[in-house]
């Protein structure tokens, strides 16, 4: 090993990798709200350069981060007109293809959606199933939870919607 090589550079590839993703979008009048690729009836929708699906963006970020591939903004910059109104499901699938090429696959996804409204509970199962279908994994590996802002801050006032996701990847043989 060259003298300027960090000690970890020769470390074996870990069998497990963890990633954390986050996204926030403003809510603007007019529905539906797209969440996890599912249209949900609501008075507002997320505003963004792409279709602004905060959950799929957080999942994409978590997967890319776990694999050491950067973040969604590096792969799908909002300065690129090709990404205007782009389907977040397509971005997620392209990102996961890159993750798979590193030799890792999904063990699980644990996600939280932060929104004052609409209620997410009635849509959890459909969202988990749809995300599982997009990624080619069982819906049981995808947990979607919801939290309100309890009337506090931009989430609580219904100004924004946010999502976080943690993923565990396992080295595939």
Q: Domains, the chain, ranges and CATH?
A: 14-171 (3.30.1330.50)
**Do residues 165 and 58 touch, judged by C-beta distance below 8 A?**
yes
Give yes or no for residue 44 having a pLDDT over 60: yes
Q: 83 pLDDT band (50/70/90 cuts)?
A: confident
Give yes or no for residue 6 having a pLDDT over 80: no
pLDDT the model gives residue 80:
83
Report CA dihedral (128, 74, 95, 103) to the nearest 10 degrees: -120
Backbone Cα Rg of the chain: 17
CA 89 vs CA 5, 100, 140, 142: distances in Å: 39, 16, 19, 15
The mean pLDDT value for 122-138 works out to 98
Q: 85 pLDDT band (50/70/90 cuts)?
A: confident
Percent of the chain with pLDDT over 90: 81
Q: 10 pLDDT band (50/70/90 cuts)?
A: low
Length of the chain: 173
Q: For residue 59, what are its two tokens?
A: 């999942």
pLDDT the model gives residue 86:
81
pLDDT the model gives residue 1:
39
């Amino acid at each position: 090993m060259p003298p300027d090589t960090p000690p970890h550079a020769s470390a074996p590839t870990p069998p497990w990798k963890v990633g954390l993703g986050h996204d926030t979008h403003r809510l603007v009048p007019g529905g539906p709200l797209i969440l996890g690729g599912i249209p949900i009836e609501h008075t507002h929708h997320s505003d963004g350069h792409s279709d602004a699906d905060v959950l799929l963006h957080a999942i994409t970020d978590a997967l890319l981060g776990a694999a050491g591939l950067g973040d969604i903004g590096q792969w799908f910059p909002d300065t690129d007109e090709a990404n205007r109104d782009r389907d977040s499901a397509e971005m997620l699938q392209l990102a996961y293809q890159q993750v798979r090429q590193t030799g890792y696959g999904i063990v699980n996804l644990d996600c939280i959606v932060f929104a004052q409204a609409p209620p997410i509970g009635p849509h959890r199962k459909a969202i988990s199933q749809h995300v599982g279908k997009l990624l080619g994994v069982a819906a049981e590996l995808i947990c979607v939870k919801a939290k309100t802002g309890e009337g506090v801050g931009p989430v609580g006032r219904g100004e924004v919607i946010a999502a976080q996701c943690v993923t565990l990847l396992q080295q595939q043989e």
